[in-house]
Chains A and B, each alone.
Chain A
């Protein structure tokens, strides 16, 4: 069986490959892997076009010009790469409400989508306040032995696990 069409690669193989990919990112672009900065830049660009007054404080304080750059294309690439992998392996799904969520909150599609929207928005606000996400802090920052990144990953894993246990309880483990 062609490895590219397999649905599962061992986490050890994937972990080693992402580690090597981070070498490539540093060597070729002198840039760590990260996802959320381009979201901030896109939002700032839209704001800037719609109403420059709103972003004035942001632009002055950050002293940076939002760009469509390497990181923006990286995000686009994550989507196309995952699409390619899912297509090659037939690992696509039409599922909207995951089984665990359904067991706990019912099969309502609007409820799941509202949860996804609000959870993701909260996550992004947190990422921008902390200046990194699971990629930017969680992999790229920790591998550089940054203190901020190690504090961040310990906090996010503790808080997210606690939240998950509050939401789903121990019995939720039977549904993942």
Chain B
């Protein structure tokens, strides 16, 4: 039931760095998440696309030298589409995603704390409903653990170039907010 202590410690250290970065990146804040969904403040997509562009090259490099392996989630069409729709509606109402919701608790946000309890309740509902959900997440429509290079025949480096172009385009072309000091009170401004 428990991982060995060194692995638990490793998880804690990795998570601490992740949470620290999410808070510094200001994505543990309701107005930043909703600013993204209302297509005004692109902080969330800038962070995600930059992380993906940088992460992809390193992780594929680690796999190439056999220091890590890929962990691809299966392409279950019904599961990904139905799950994605429910997730998308939920995030707009809650105002945080799972990781940023946990991070927002660290800022003292009470709505996020109640949301984390709601997340546990949702997980409970999922386990309870599991027998009913099996058709959605079972074998039907399962393409398996497949990657974009495998589906399209375009090699991984071609996808890296595309991801970098999108990441640079969004980073350069779209605005994000940052706090500015103004008469002792803090406002935010797009730039």
Contacts and interface: CB of A to CB of B under 8 A. Distances in A.
Contacts, number: 518
B134 A18 contact: no
Given A91-B23, A125-B125, A143-B51, 16 more contacts: A12-B50, A15-B53, A15-B54, A25-B14, A29-B10, A58-B130, A77-B12, A79-B103, A83-B105, A119-B93, A123-B97, A131-B80, A139-B52, A142-B56, A173-B35, A173-B40
Contacts of B123: 36, 39-40, 42-43, 124, 128
B137 A8 contact: no
B126 A128 contact: yes
Contacts of A118: 93, 118
Interface string B81-105: 1111111111111111111111111
Interface in A135-162: 135-152, 155-162
B55 A119 contact: no
A85 B119 contact: no
Nearest to B26: A8
B180 to A, nearest CB: 10
Q: On chain A, which size bracket covers the interface?
A: 35 or more
A145 B148 contact: yes
Given A85-B19, A122-B122, A18 B51 contact: yes
A64 interface: no
A65 B80 contact: no
Contacts of B72: 141, 144, 146, 148
Closest 9 CB pairs of A and B: A77-B15, A15-B50, A130-B83, A19-B54, A159-B88, A81-B19, A123-B90, A119-B93, A124-B122
A79 B80 contact: no
Nearest to B145: A146
Contacts of B169: none
A143 B92 contact: no
Contact of B143 (A121, A128, A147): A147
Contacts of B51: 15-16, 18-19, 22, 139, 143
